[in-house]
Amino acid sequence: MIIFATLRMSIRALRRNTLRTLLTMLGIIIGVGAVIAMVSIGNGAKAQVEAQIASLGQNVILVMSGNFSRGGFAMGFGSMPTLTKEDYESIRREVSGVAASSPEVRTAAQIAVGSQNINSSILGVGDEYPDVRSWPIASGAIFTEQDVRGANKVAVIGKTTATTLFGEGDPVGQIIRIKNAPFVVTGLLSSKGMSMMGQDQDDIVLVPYTSAMKRLSGVTTFRSFQIKSVSSEAVTEVQQQITDLLRQRHKIEPGKDDDFLVRTQQEITQTATEASRVMTLLLGSIASVSLLVGGIGIMNIMLVSVTERTREIGIRLAVGARSRDILLQFLIEAIALSLVGGILGIFLGMGGSTLVSSKMGWATLISMDSIVISFLFSGAIGIFFGFYPARKAAQLDPIDALRYE
Amino acid sequence: MKAEANGHPVIQLDEMSKTYHTGEVDVHAVRGVSLTVKPGEFLAIMGASGSGKSTMMNIIGCLDRPTGGRYLLDGVDVNDLNRDELALLRNQKLGFVFQGFNLLSRTSALENVELPMLYNRDGMSSREQRERGLKALEMVGLSDRADHHPNQLSGGQQQRVAIARSLVNEPKLLLADEPTGNLDSHTSIEIMGIFQKLNRQGMTVVMVTHELDIARYTMRNVVMRDGRVVSDVPVANRLDAADELEKLRAEQQAIQLAP
């Protein structure tokens, strides 16, 4: 028997009971929709993480100060003051393959201009910081090396800080007061937008690290160094040199743990994408459970349908249908059910993920892969869950089937 | 639909028997029946319920296989065939007409008639199927009802659709299982008229019935009891459906004209 004729027959059978067909498909619709929406949310998060890490700058190596632990609790890297100015200077001096570098100290303080004030985070950095982070200056310039050496009261401010303090006017050349000390604004950073944690990255003030340590926070050690290598090939080499140098400077005996942490951008990317991959997988597998339930729904209705249509099967067998014709008929019906459900589910998933991204502001990314896979998967569900009822129909005895009331 | 020119019978049963094993008891439904039906015959199998006539019908119709003896349908030994080969045989050589019509509801008369061609292995075009379906409906006088669904048709019309369906693959043998069982006497005679017409055109017809007057429209009556053939005689005063219908009409007119 021609597949096409069977398909037409199956679609007619399904249209005969539209409500039941729709309810049966609902499981698959929701299942596929959930998988697509969940995977798109996971992929969106992953893409965002990747973009975030790329925004750290190219070929960046991060050196964090040691892991301070007290009573068995690790406080996280950066909590122990192990990175000194001398460490930084020796890295600058002795490590080859460094394109640009900057140390970083962090503090927060009230910043005021006239009656306006804002509580921005203040980063004490070197003059190469915008270069390391690939973060261009929009207007004016970064402070100079002399400013750093002299611990001058100069600052470069972010977009949000500038807008809050100066409105739309150009902040370059203006004076801002940080902890009551007047700082001259030398430049305005270009806008970077929200971070993935939802922080405004433009609410920031960069000052020379010397000024920050001496005039603002009083700390003498750094939270981290950010070092940009000359090329992506040189990253590992530079990382090794830094590790060796710092172990030597910190007099760490062989076999003992580092009191600092050197991470390349690739390593950070890997960790983060692995985390979001696991999240995508988790969301996807929870959603697939509903696909499974949908498949069982199809099997259930197909079994009912086979019983209801026993007489029809008997008639078909009597006029010469072979077992495989009957099998094919019911199998195609189940596959049609699940595929149409799958297509509707794809639309539902796309709609759902668009809704999520517009209403909740989450990044979503619908991949062609997830659409193709869920379409094929719903077809496979049709075959898997349709096979048993179809086989049951095909194995009916023609006499019993004809006699069935 | 011409009678077979060559000699071999349409049905040849040699000591055919059928035993059902239900639980611990063996039920001997048919106990060694030998029967030959030649091309162009019109046969009625009769008997009370439990006489084995339905089992005979199922076996002749290749819906079931005998447990003993031999059954040759149009020269083909059915015992050797598997399920799919039996299906092919039913499709190509047999036409079924049932007591309860057994039409697919919510499917038009034409589509019901086309059903056997769906399982025809010759791969007919859908246009050819349609043409043959319409031709078969014309043969039973229902070409104007092709698009009607079974629930829009009377019992007699439904049975005629079923006859059209049984004819569409040009079978060797028409099998009718109590074809008039659900019909009033007038419609029954009409249906018998169709069978007689087909038989005159050369179709071999085997019918199961328990109505004596219906059996008188056939050529030969086989009576069964307890799984055996107890009598096998030609019909002496054969009724002609056209004459009987004419008689009925005259009677009705007489009643209407009576004061």
Output the DSSP codes for A213-264: IIIII---EESEEEEEESSTTTHHHHHHHHHHHHHHHTTPPTTSPPSEEEEE
Q: Which residues of B touch A322 (CB under 8 A)?
A: 83-84, 87-88, 119
Burial readout A283-300 (b: 16 or more C-beta within 10 A, e: otherwise): bbeebbebbeebbebbbe
Encoded tokens for B167: 């004819």
Size of interface A-B (CB pairs under 8 A): 60
Lowest mean pLDDT among A47-61, B12-26, B40-54, B225-239: A47-61
Q: Which residues of B touch A314 (CB under 8 A)?
A: 102
Which value does ipTM take for this structure?
A: 0.91
Parse chain B into domains and list their residue ranges: 11-257
Contact A156, A137 (CB under 8 A): yes
Contact A137, A187 (CB under 8 A): yes
Interchain contact, A319 vs B106, CB within 8 Å: no
The secondary structure of residue B52, as a DSSP letter, is S
The residues, any chain, with a CB within 8 Å of residue B27's CB and separated by 6 or more, are B19, B20, B21
* Of A379, A376, A381, A374, the residue nearest A37 (C-alpha): A374
pLDDT tens for chain A, 405 residues long, are 567 778 888 888 888 888 989 999 998 999 899 888 888 888 888 887 777 777 777 788 888 887 655 555 555 555 567 788 888 888 888 888 888 899 988 888 888 888 888 888 889 999 999 888 888 888 888 988 899 888 899 999 998 888 888 888 888 888 999 888 899 999 999 888 766 556 778 888 999 999 888 888 878 888 888 898 888 888 888 888 988 888 888 888 887 777 888 888 878 878 888 888 888 888 888 888 888 888 999 999 999 999 999 999 999 999 999 999 999 999 999 999 999 999 999 999 999 988 888 888 777 888 888 889 888 988 999 999 999 999 999 999 999 999 887
Among B90, B98, B104, select the one facing A312 at the smallest CB separation: B104
Among A320, A322, A398, select the one facing B116 at the smallest CB separation: A320
Could you report the per-residue pLDDT of B87-146, keeping only the tens digit for each?
999 999 999 999 989 999 888 999 999 999 988 877 788 889 999 999 999 999 998 999
Could you report the per-residue pLDDT of B62-89, keeping only the tens digit for each?
998 899 999 999 999 998 899 999 999 9
DSSP letter string, B170-217: --SEEEEESTTTTS-HHHHHHHHHHHHHHHHTT-EEEEE---HHHHTT
Hey, what long-range contacts does B64-67 have (CB within 8 A, 24 or more apart)?
B64/A399, B64/B18, B66/B16, B66/B17, B66/B18, B66/B30, B67/B17, B67/B18, B67/B19
Interchain contact, B102 vs A16, CB within 8 Å: no
Contact B198, B166 (CB under 8 A): no
Among A1, A311, A317, select the one facing B118 at the smallest CB separation: A1
From CA A170, how far away is CA A259, in angstroms rounded? 44
- In CATH terms, B11-257 corresponds, of 3.40.50.300, 3.20.20.120, 1.10.15.40, 3.40.50.2300, to 3.40.50.300
